[in-house]
Amino acid sequence: MAKEINNDTIAKFENDLNNHPVFNVASHAAQENGIYKASQNLQTKIDLDPIFSIEIDTGKPADQKQSGRCWMFSALNTMRHPLQKKFKLKDFELSQNYTNFWDKFEKSNWFFENVIATADKDLGDRKVSFLFATPQQDGGQWDMLCGIIEKYGIVPKSVYPETANATNSSALNDTLNTLLRKDGLELRRLVNAGKSEDEVQARKEEMLNDVFRVLAISLGVPPKKFNFEYRDDDHNYHIDKDITPKEFFDKYVGMDLANHISTINAPTSDKPFHKVFSVEYLGNVEGGRQVRHLNLKVDEMKDLIIKQLKSGEVVWFGSNVVKDSERRAGLLDTNLYRRDQLFDVDFSMSKADKLDSGESMMDHAMVITGVDIVDGKPTKWKIENSWGEKPGFKGYFVMSDSWFDSFVYQAVINKDILPEDLKKAYDKGKDNPIQLLPWDPMGALAFKY
């Protein structure tokens, strides 16, 4: 039987509060400065000085501005770094808007196909509601970007630059989602009215034509061929004429996308280690690359990341960036705020409990470019963000190893460095991954900051 709060209980709590040794000081500090400032641990700034024993020079960070394309910016950053070095192109960027266009176009078709497939279910069904809640958005996954590049290639940012609707995406997302919801309901009605598959697909194609027009007006028409013209850092002139986006990727980027796989650290009871998982309804390219995650123990993931950094290759990773972070200072540390000391309350939770309860989930992708190893153990990590040069150390952040343990959930690893047992585990499960529900914290709405 439920029990209500009564006056005797409240009086007991007030008496406990008044007798608490730090109540007056703590309440004044919190009410005057706010919880985070009042509980900030200044030692973090000393512990997380930006000095690293292993470090890869990656140059000027990019800036996703007011959009949720961190996953895309970070992935393209991992691809541009070798290009910058090989072709002597300081601060060169690949076009994030180009992949953004095709991602939104493919996500629209992905939404339509899932709407058709679930047309026999009630609109109140949780999975149908999930689809219509956000038909498309800025977020995504490593495998989704690979699917776009494998189909459409990539171009330099100078060839297909950012637009107002790319850098501040809220109006485009709102406009596109309104159109998709309207069209999605019509597709459901056509299916339930007994229209043939050919008739439904013909109407879907007309809808995609409208989507293409909205994207082309908002973002520009993506190039089919272009001239790649530039001067390198030695002021030598180069031009590559009439090159296609796929030819550009093969010639100038040349990354073996098929050999880079997503690993996760999700220590929840429903996700055994060394198994491969996918997330229902998470994707973009129909018939393209499927989202797959190989679940690893946290120390296994760290060892692989360090091995990859030592080989000279940076690491794309996913985390819960809003937790225990200071954006302006560029610090990520579980000891950054001591709310336990401010309130004399135990806030500790295991990583598994954070995931299971919704306390934590992946919300941001960045790039690991360095690590500081002391006595054989990592103590802090160098992070390239995609928020421009103002935050942190000219756009770079420092992450404590304890923050890694608590809030890092994903890392893309070159398959060549996997030990044989993990290669076998991935190969065994990749073609028939365990399906997670659409709202699972390892996928849900993917990355958004």
Residue positions annotated with a catalytic role: 70, 364, 385
Residues forming a β-bridge with 377: 374
Q: Residues near 213 by Cβ (< 8 Å), separated by ≥ 6?
A: none
Q: What distance in Å separates the CA atoms of residue 88 and residue 234, rounded to the nearest whole number?
A: 8
From residue 349, how far is each of 70, 112, 346 by CA, in Å? 27, 40, 9
Residues forming a β-bridge with 381: 371, 399
Q: What distance in Å separates the CA atoms of residue 396 and residue 378, rounded to the nearest whole number?
A: 18
Q: Hey, is 66 helix, strand or coil?
A: strand
Q: What distance in Å separates the CA atoms of residue 302 and residue 300, rounded to the nearest whole number?
A: 5
DSSP H helical segments within 134-169, as ranges?
142-152, 164-167
Q: How does strand 408-414 pair with strand 396-400?
A: unpaired
Sign of CA dihedral 405, 411, 414, 416: positive
Q: What distance in Å separates the CA atoms of residue 202 and residue 314, rounded to the nearest whole number?
A: 44
Q: What distance in Å separates the CA atoms of residue 74 and residue 317, rounded to the nearest whole number?
A: 8
Which residue, 67, 62, 64, is CA-closest to 171?
67
